Amino acid sequence: MITTHVKPDADALGSSLGMANYLIKKGHEVQVITPSEYPAFLHWMKGNDGVLVYGEDTEQQCQEIIDQADILITLDFSRLSRINQLGDMVKEASGFKVNIDHHLDPEDFADFRLWNTGAAATCELCYELILALGDEALIDKDIAECLYAGIMTDTGGFRHPNTTQNVHEVVAKLISHGADNSRVSKEVYDNNSINRLRFLGYALSQNLQVLPEERVAFFALSTDELQQYSSKTGDTEGLVNYALSIEGITLAGLFKQSSDGVKVSLRSIGKFPANEIAAKYFNGGGHRNAAGGRIDLTLEEAVARFKSVLVAYKDQLEEEHRKL
């Protein structure tokens, strides 16, 4: 059994299906389970059709698979709370537990851990694991494309500071194993619905708030606004980066109202600790430059909380901008 974090992104799903396709080639019986649905721009990955999405109707099935699994591979998360209801099932399971991840503060739940916060993506670690097992020759086009996708998106399209020499060397190898990098990029980035583009236009022109003095910019989207543009899972993916792309901005946020409170996404430049704000004030965590959380408040209250927190970070917000 392979699982990954809630609202899987390309690194989460790519590492899961990359490992699944590899293990199937090794003769294993594999079931990927995700704690929630994920965006349509990831559906091209080989094995997507076999993914079991946790929900009310699949709860029993998930429980049985997790109970029976000899090996449970958990990818791209470091704490069991990141897989919601599946967390308790995995915790109680008797199978051998593996955790492969690059997030901070790992919880001690796995029997074997491949953990490196210096890795840009969990997909990078999966590639290295396959190599370490002497199985590079088993990496085919499908596996290579799953792993390529996760590295591509977790490095922001090879632009973030985590884009190391090793990242380029790994993706070069993946291309040599058949990954069509241009196709993967098109599938993931150039796959917009018209609604999503119009929604982006609305968000940028009507919703974006900029606090130039504070060096902060953010979006705060209500369920009404999201519904107006028939926003689907994944439609707000990447939106927060537009706020961070503004000249002079150190910290960017996206506050998204949902049925269970407000989902928060934070992005920062340089050494500014977005994960500290996510952990201290929004029940979350993440990486220094990309973090998130969730809080049970109204949208207005969540934004007010965010603004009030900024005062304590005034100097740091200014300093990271000046360093550029």
User: Where on the chain is the footprint of ligand 5GP (CB under 6 A)?
Assistant: 103, 265, 284-287, 290-294
- Measured from the CB atom, the residue of 254 and 317 that comes closer to ligand 5GP is 254
Residue with the CB atom nearest ligand 5GP in the bound state? 292
d(CA 293, CA 201): 25
- Measured from the CB atom, the residue of 101 and 225 that comes closer to Mn ion is 101
Selection from Mn ion, ligand 5GP, none that 114 binds (CB < 5 to 8 A by kind) is none
Smallest distance, ligand 5GP to C-beta of residue 15, A: 12
- Measured from the CB atom, the residue of 154 and 237 that comes closer to Mn ion is 154
Smallest distance, Mn ion to C-beta of residue 240, A: 16
Selection from ligand 5GP, Mn ion, none that 284 binds (CB < 5 to 8 A by kind) is ligand 5GP
Smallest distance, ligand 5GP to C-beta of residue 298, A: 18
Report the phi/psi class of residue 286: left, alpha or beta, with left for phi > 0 and alpha for psi in -120 to 50: left
Stretch that binds Mn ion, among 83-91, 116-124, 242-250, 312-320 (CB under 5 A): 116-124
Report the phi/psi class of residue 113: left, alpha or beta, with left for phi > 0 and alpha for psi in -120 to 50: beta
Q: Site mask, Mn ion, residues 76-95, x = CB under 5 A? A: x-------------------
Selection from Mn ion, ligand 5GP, none that 320 binds (CB < 5 to 8 A by kind) is none
Q: What are phi and psi of 196, to 5 degrees?
A: -65, -40
Contact between 154 and Mn ion per CB under 5 A: yes
**Residues near 197 by beta carbon (within 8 Å), at least 6 away in sequence:** none
d(CA 5, CA 154): 14
- Measured from the CB atom, the residue of 82 and 263 that comes closer to Mn ion is 82
Selection from Mn ion, ligand 5GP, none that 156 binds (CB < 5 to 8 A by kind) is none
- Measured from the CB atom, the residue of 39 and 286 that comes closer to ligand 5GP is 286
- Measured from the CB atom, the residue of 215 and 287 that comes closer to ligand 5GP is 287
d(CA 79, CA 76): 10
- Measured from the CB atom, the residue of 177 and 256 that comes closer to ligand 5GP is 256
Compute CA distances 144 → 44, 138, 172, 250, whole Å: 13, 10, 10, 34
Among 8, 11, 149, 254, binds Mn ion (CB under 5 A): 11
Q: Site mask, Mn ion, residues 118-137, x = CB under 5 A? A: ----x---------------
DSSP string covering 256-314, please?
EEETTEEEEEEEE-TT--HHHHHHHHSS-EE-SSEEEEEESS-HHHHHHHHHHHHGGGH
Smallest distance, Mn ion to C-beta of residue 81, A: 16
Smallest distance, Mn ion to C-beta of residue 120, A: 8
Stretch that binds Mn ion, among 69-77, 185-193, 262-270, 295-303 (CB under 5 A): 69-77
Q: Nearest Cα to 239, choosing from 225, 287, 280?
A: 225
d(CA 100, CA 78): 8
Three state DSSP letters for 141-196: HHHHHHHHHHHHHHCCCCCCCCCCHHHHHHHHHHHHCCCCHHHHHHHHHCCCCHHH
Strand partners, 72: 97
- Measured from the CB atom, the residue of 273 and 293 that comes closer to ligand 5GP is 293
d(CA 324, CA 250): 10
Smallest distance, ligand 5GP to C-beta of residue 65, A: 25
